[in-house]
Chain A
Amino acid sequence: MTSANLVEIDNVNFAYDSQRTILRGINMTIPQGKVVAIMGGSGCGKTTLLRLIGGQIKPTSGAVRVAGQTVHELKEDGLYALRRKMGMLFQFGALFTDMSVFDNVAFQMREHTDLPEEMIRDLVLMKLHAVGLRGAHRLMPSELSGGMARRVALARAIALDPMLIMYDEPFAGLDPISLGVIGQLIRTLNDALGATSILVTHDIMESLKIVDYVYFVSEGVIVAEGTADEIRASKMPFVHQFVNGEPDGPVPFQYPAPDYATDLQGNGRA
């Protein structure tokens, strides 16, 4: 069972308080070795799902199992042991600004292993080479462009060869070239490391090129799921609207760039 599905999300509900329910009855399975995308508009609870998998928050009810372990039942030691096998790419990279690119990638190796410094150097350069930034290892994060920072963060996320890599909005705010580079890296690194990847994104065109399976989340529930081809061919109004980026459809507020009038209304209510 664990060999087939690395992550299982079983009827999960999550709410910060009684008024604001973020997730309702989510069921997901993420098979070993696949790249799975979770899509939906901003604020629909995608990032919350990643936090649940990483054990940073506990579900209100239901269970998240990673590699057969129920995440929210783990003690701190167990949780940290599990997290060592996970890598996460944060939305804007979240590089440690007081450390060089090299030290950022070396961070986990130094924290969690007793490897000699020469070996760490080789490993770091290998990871940086994989994302094409071996030449930048002396730079500080403030000297990097957005796309480069994202790639360094990716190198850092795979530093300990994780079994599960999570990406929080890996495409946000990137130029088309960087977008393509990151997309390719996600796929090739996943296959090269034999890892499993979860992508949280609203960039449908880029994701459909690389993912195996897609979940659509809207207002805390899964509204559609399927393989990339099924999604492209889907006749469901919501998916159709999302894939083609139509401004008007069944869920106008879910459109990634809401139109002016909706935006104003949304602000007025808040």
Chain B
Amino acid sequence: MAVLDTLTSGLRTLGHKVIEGVWRIGFAARFFFAVLMYSGTAFRRFNLTIREIYFTGVLSLIIILISGLFVGMVLGLQGYDTLQRYGSSEALGVLVALSLVRELGPVISALLFASRAGSAITAEIGLMKTTEQLSAMEMMAVNPIARVVAPRFWAGVMSMPLLAAMFSAMGVIGGYLVGVKLIGVDEGAFWSQMQSSVDVRLDIVNGVIKSFVFGIAVTLISVFEGYDADPTAEGVSGATTRTVVTSSLAILALDFILTAFMFRGVG
């Protein structure tokens, strides 16, 4: 009997979780449409969005640039180590550039963005809710989705591709420094092989599209978790954690899906 009870309660918990999850997805979708619908203000009064680009984009600049440089340098070292075994160390440029532009640039910069800017967005909106600032705004006949959420959303969506591009560029420079300046791979071969193998539309544009999609996902999760947070200290801290966890999982899952579509049948 006890086993049956445990089983029933287990099933009930599972059912409850599923229903809650589905409900939350529906709620998030409605929230997304509301953000899009009330985006007029974010563009009409673009200085609101510019301000948020400062807080999400500019303040993430240092971490993105430094991480990009180091990731590129590590790629240079590891790539050289592997490639020279097959006597093709000139292909180092290709390896560094393709891994960065296709995968590491968009993915790592999105992960960093989620933990640097996404968590800050969630905490800020959550605290505004906790201290009744959002309610106060509503009572002052100002829609908080239009005034607070939409500018942050668009700022994140616009910042993300730029940050990813900077990450990739810094990474290529890092790979160049280690590969060419430190190890001594031929400079001409490094750049020319890179240029002949990296396709602008196929690799670079697809990388930008990826980072754009990640930007939408991360900022949407961030503003949603903030807006949906329980108006308590624990609620906000829980929401901040959820932002980082959910965003990271979303980035990796979306990356798989996008890669499967983009590079299908490409050698």
CA distance A39 to B140 in the complex (A): 24
**B143 CB contacts on chain A under 8 angstroms:** 80
**A80 CB contacts on chain B under 8 angstroms:** 141, 143
**B139 CB contacts on chain A under 8 angstroms:** 54, 56, 83, 86, 88
Kindly supply a per-residue 1/0 record for chain B positions 17-54, scoring 1 wherever the CB is within 8 Å of any chain A CB and 0 otherwise: 00000000000000000000000000000000000000
The answer to whether A92 and B131 touch across the interface, beta carbons within 8 angstroms, is yes
**A95 CB contacts on chain B under 8 angstroms:** 133
The answer to whether A92 and B140 touch across the interface, beta carbons within 8 angstroms, is no
Kindly supply a per-residue 1/0 record for chain B positions 134-148, scoring 1 wherever the CB is within 8 Å of any chain A CB and 0 otherwise: 011111111100010
Is A97 in the interface zone, CB < 8 Å from B?
A: yes
The answer to whether B135 and A90 touch across the interface, beta carbons within 8 angstroms, is yes
The answer to whether B140 and A107 touch across the interface, beta carbons within 8 angstroms, is yes
**B135 CB contacts on chain A under 8 angstroms:** 56, 90, 94
The answer to whether B141 and A91 touch across the interface, beta carbons within 8 angstroms, is no
The answer to whether B133 and A81 touch across the interface, beta carbons within 8 angstroms, is no
CA distance A83 to B136 in the complex (A): 11
**A84 CB contacts on chain B under 8 angstroms:** 140-141
CA distance A97 to B136 in the complex (A): 12
- A88-B136, A90-B136, A94-B136 as given contacts; A112 in contact with B131, CB under 8 Å: no
The answer to whether A94 and B133 touch across the interface, beta carbons within 8 angstroms, is yes
**A88 CB contacts on chain B under 8 angstroms:** 136, 139-140
**A112 CB contacts on chain B under 8 angstroms:** 141-142
Is A253 in the interface zone, CB < 8 Å from B?
A: no
CA distance A97 to B139 in the complex (A): 17
**B141 CB contacts on chain A under 8 angstroms:** 80-81, 83-84, 108, 111-112
CA distance A230 to B141 in the complex (A): 37
> What is the interface residue range for chain B against chain A?
10 to 19
Least CB separation from A160: chain B residue:
B140
Kindly supply a per-residue 1/0 record for chain A positions 89-131, scoring 1 wherever the CB is within 8 Å of any chain B CB and 0 otherwise: 0111011110000000001100110000000000000000000
Is B132 in the interface zone, CB < 8 Å from A?
A: yes
**B132 CB contacts on chain A under 8 angstroms:** 90-92, 94
CA distance A96 to B140 in the complex (A): 12
CA distance A80 to B141 in the complex (A): 5
CA distance A269 to B143 in the complex (A): 39
**A86 CB contacts on chain B under 8 angstroms:** 139
**B142 CB contacts on chain A under 8 angstroms:** 107-108, 111-112
CA distance A54 to B137 in the complex (A): 12
The answer to whether B131 and A97 touch across the interface, beta carbons within 8 angstroms, is yes
CA distance A84 to B138 in the complex (A): 10
Chain B, range 185-234, C-beta contacts under 8 Å to A: none
The answer to whether A94 and B131 touch across the interface, beta carbons within 8 angstroms, is yes
Smallest beta-carbon distance A166→chain B, Å: 8
The answer to whether B140 and A108 touch across the interface, beta carbons within 8 angstroms, is yes
**A94 CB contacts on chain B under 8 angstroms:** 131-133, 135-136
**B147 CB contacts on chain A under 8 angstroms:** 111
**B128 CB contacts on chain A under 8 angstroms:** 96-97
**A90 CB contacts on chain B under 8 angstroms:** 132, 135-136
Smallest beta-carbon distance B188→chain A, Å: 52
CA distance A195 to B23 in the complex (A): 43
CA distance A84 to B143 in the complex (A): 12
Listed A/B pairs (10) with beta-carbon separation below 8 Å: A81-B141, A83-B141, A86-B139, A88-B136, A90-B136, A95-B133, A96-B137, A97-B127, A111-B141, A112-B142
Contacts A90-B135, A94-B136 aside, 15 further interface pairs with beta carbons under 8 A come to A56-B139, A80-B141, A81-B141, A83-B139, A83-B141, A88-B139, A90-B136, A91-B132, A94-B131, A95-B133, A96-B128, A97-B128, A108-B140, A111-B140, A112-B141
- Closest CB pairs A-B (n = 7): A94-B132, A94-B136, A83-B141, A80-B141, A88-B139, A84-B141, A90-B132
B residues in contact (CB < 8 Å) with A:
127-128, 131-133, 135-143, 147
